[in-house]
A and B are shown apart, each in its own frame.
Chain A
Amino acid sequence: MGMTMTQKILAKHAGLPTVSAGQLIEADLDLVLGNDVTTPVAIHEMDKFNKKEVFDKEKIALVMDHFTPNKDIKSAEHCKCVRQFSCANEIKNFFDVGEMGIEHALLPEKGLIVAGETCIGADSHTCTYGALGAFSTGVGSTDMAAGMVTGKAWFKVPSAIKFNIVGEKAPWVSGKDVILHIIGMIGVDGALYKSMEFVGEGIKNLTMDDRFTIANMAIEAGAKNGIFPVDELTEEYMKEHSTKSYTKYEADADAEYDEEYTIDLSTLKPTVAFPHLPENTKTIDEVGDIKIDQVVIGSCTNGRISDMRIAAEIIKGRHVAKGLRVIVIPGTQEVYLQMLDEGLTKIFIEAGAIVSTPTCGPCLGGHMGVMAAGERAVSTTNRNFVGRMGHVDSEVYLASPAVAAASAITGKISGPSDLGL
């Protein structure tokens, strides 16, 4: 029996000729990631090890992105703990304020992860790097601690669901709409414990940023990982951002899948996930009249330069609705600089939005846009759980940068077509 793309990468890293779904393996890790919320717990766990040295100073990435620039004394203490650990252990890829970005936007941009590699991260959206053809998955702090010391992690080899992508997207439809459509279709546990493998001739019509967004939200369907084949676009991206050598894997022709779906991009419309689950999706024409208080454009899901360009294109020459708070957050310093170079920052500020330094902040109700009771946000982030962006009686509607930008102008959930675009 053949192997899926994910299974091939895992087999290689476990030193086994083949693996099959359900098998328990121990795999070598090419990268171990943590942030300012999860790393302090991992450092504390590391103290329990007999051996306390890290396995490889260059294969650990620590990114201070959640509550930074620090929102309070306790989070400052957390960052201080990670800073001291990084210094003591000579961690090469420690990213503090000034260098940091939102981890899943930052790591691919810095070229720290490439096709064919394995990565665990103590952050659930670590599955983002599947866009590059890598196996990457979210874990907790104890797994991270064990990974930092041993360079290995245990995995149950996942079975997979195949998504055959065909067709071409309509204008203003993006990767966010693709993944929201899929989660709406299979549910928040539709891919529980499984890989989501994206294949098909339609992949070439998805930009790298579309693919990052899609792989990023695989976890919102419960998946272990989401993964894309490596094509010319992927290779171009990796050559531009990384000096690492990469390995291309393809699923075997006789690989087994639990389920197969065809996603015709040409049939998709801008899609919105209603509170309080990412699976509660409606297309923009079904949304109705929903007034909002806040718009967030950014995050590990949609904080990349193409997201900013789409939003700016819609907002340019218009003004945000009276009484609405519009928060734009570039994913990395590099994205921020590109925005300045391209005049996007000016467009947002002139329209009445604010542009923040990179931070996860509002996505998880941490800081920089926490909501009061009864308030509603349209957000390009990834979760709309109860209380996710603040008060338990606030609401988050997940959408693409295009829908968020259009909503910023009208003050209610809107698509670009509502502005005549």
Chain B
Amino acid sequence: MKAYGTVHKYGDNVDTDVIIPARYLNSSDPAELAKKCMEDIDADFVNRVKPGDIMVANKNFGCGSSREHAPIAIKASGISCVIAETFARIFYRNAINIGLPIIECPEAAKGIEAGDMVEVDFDSGMIYNKTKGTEFKGQAFPPFMQEIIKNGGLINNINSKNK
């Protein structure tokens, strides 16, 4: 499986309140949440984002509230992968559980800029910056998490064991 798209770049400590502000948590509809995604940090994101685009950020991406609405909004906005130096742990779990591909890679986070065209190969964990001609090796998921991702999220994974 591969992702290829234009990069939207963010800094340190992007919290789930700016990914999807609480004033929109009276909805749990992915399409509705996607319309407000990143509103408080990058109001133009929803106008720029195209299906398949990639989000890249520095450390502690997704910190704060446990709202699963945050990865749901990112996924529904069309983002195919989030690359970060590090992820906050609840966001990390939530992304895996709902099937939003994420990769931790400090070098890629530093070596990729907004607007770069980037390809991610999930099987090898390789990240290619096509604009700059550079490549990075992301951290591979442990087999347990690969299985969840392969089965399309936590619940499908549990179902596959309890048929």
Most buried by B among A78, A121, A143, A383: A143
CA distance A192 to B60 in the complex (A): 8
CA distance A121 to B66 in the complex (A): 9
CA distance A74 to B23 in the complex (A): 11
Contact call B89/A145, Cβ cutoff below 8 A: no
Is A357's beta carbon under 8 Å from chain B?
Answer: no
Q: Which residue of A lies closest to B159 (CB)?
A: A50
CA distance A220 to B156 in the complex (A): 31
CA distance A370 to B26 in the complex (A): 15
Which residues of B64-121 are within 8 A (CB) of A?
64-69, 71-72, 86, 88-90, 93-94, 97-98
> Digit string of B127-155 for contact with A (CB within 8 Å is 1, else 0)?
00000000000000010100000000111
Number of A-B contacts (CB under 8 A): 136
> Digit string of A35-58 for contact with B (CB within 8 Å is 1, else 0)?
001101100110011110000000
Write out the residue numbers on chain B whose beta carbons fall within 8 Å of the beta carbon of A122.
Answer: 66, 68
Task: Select B162's contact among A51, A71, A78, beta carbons within 8 Å.
Answer: A51
Is A387's beta carbon under 8 Å from chain B?
Answer: yes
Is B59's beta carbon under 8 Å from chain A?
Answer: yes
Contact call A387/B89, Cβ cutoff below 8 A: no
Contact call B90/A140, Cβ cutoff below 8 A: yes
Could you tell me the distance in whole angstroms from the C-beta of B147 to the nearest C-beta in chain A? Answer: 11
> Digit string of B12-26 for contact with A (CB within 8 Å is 1, else 0)?
010101100111011
Could you tell me the distance in whole angstroms from the C-beta of A321 to the nearest C-beta in chain B? Answer: 28
Is B31's beta carbon under 8 Å from chain A?
Answer: no
Contact call B22/A364, Cβ cutoff below 8 A: yes
Write out the residue numbers on chain B whose beta carbons fall within 8 Å of the beta carbon of A74.
Answer: 26-27
Could you tell me the distance in whole angstroms from the C-beta of B25 to the nearest C-beta in chain A? Answer: 5
CA distance A387 to B68 in the complex (A): 18
Contact call A40/B159, Cβ cutoff below 8 A: no
Task: Select A388's contact among B17, B88, B90, B154, beta carbons within 8 Å.
Answer: B17
> Digit string of A357-369 for contact with B (CB within 8 Å is 1, else 0)?
0000000111000
Task: Select A139's contact among B18, B21, B66, B158, beta carbons within 8 Å.
Answer: B66
Which residues of A368-389 are within 8 A (CB) of B?
370, 383, 385-388
Contact call B94/A364, Cβ cutoff below 8 A: no
Task: Select B17's contact among A37, A40, A383, beta carbons within 8 Å.
Answer: A383
Write out the residue numbers on chain A whose beta carbons fall within 8 Å of the beta carbon of B17.
Answer: 364-365, 383, 385-388
CA distance A145 to B68 in the complex (A): 12
Write out the residue numbers on chain A whose beta carbons fall within 8 Å of the beta carbon of B153.
Answer: 142
Contact call B60/A222, Cβ cutoff below 8 A: yes
Interface size class of A (residues with CB under 8 A): 35 or more
CA distance A386 to B155 in the complex (A): 33
Contact call A150/B158, Cβ cutoff below 8 A: yes
Could you tell me the distance in whole angstroms from the C-beta of A149 to the nearest C-beta in chain B? Answer: 8
Contact call A140/B67, Cβ cutoff below 8 A: yes
Contact call B64/A385, Cβ cutoff below 8 A: yes
Given contacts A142-B97, A143-B97, A364-B17, contact A192 B89 (CB under 8 A): yes
Is A313's beta carbon under 8 Å from chain B?
Answer: no
Is B44's beta carbon under 8 Å from chain A?
Answer: no
Could you tell me the distance in whole angstroms from the C-beta of B38 to the nearest C-beta in chain A? Answer: 11
Task: Select A75's contact among B26, B67, B86, beta carbons within 8 Å.
Answer: B26
Q: Which residue of A lies closest to B158 (CB)?
A: A146
Given contacts A140-B94, A277-B13, A385-B17, contact A192 B86 (CB under 8 A): yes
Is A224's beta carbon under 8 Å from chain B?
Answer: yes
Given contacts A386-B18, A392-B40, contact A146 B155 (CB under 8 A): yes
Contact call B155/A189, Cβ cutoff below 8 A: no
CA distance A387 to B26 in the complex (A): 17
CA distance A75 to B97 in the complex (A): 25
Contact call A78/B28, Cβ cutoff below 8 A: yes
Write out the residue numbers on chain B whose beta carbons fall within 8 Å of the beta carbon of A48.
Answer: 155-156, 159
Task: Select B63's contact among A45, A51, A188, beta carbons within 8 Å.
Answer: A188
* 21 intermolecular pairs with C-beta atoms under 8 Å apart: A40-B28, A41-B28, A41-B68, A49-B155, A78-B26, A122-B68, A138-B66, A138-B90, A142-B68, A142-B153, A142-B154, A143-B97, A146-B154, A189-B59, A189-B60, A189-B63, A219-B64, A365-B21, A370-B23, A385-B17, A392-B40
A-B contact sample (11 more), CB < 8 A, given A49-B159, A189-B13:
A38-B67, A48-B155, A124-B65, A139-B93, A140-B66, A140-B94, A188-B63, A189-B59, A277-B13, A387-B17, A392-B40
- B residues within 8 Å of A by Cβ? 13, 15, 17-18, 21-23, 25-28, 40-41, 59-60, 63-69, 71-72, 86, 88-90, 93-94, 97-98, 142, 144, 153-156, 158-159, 162-163
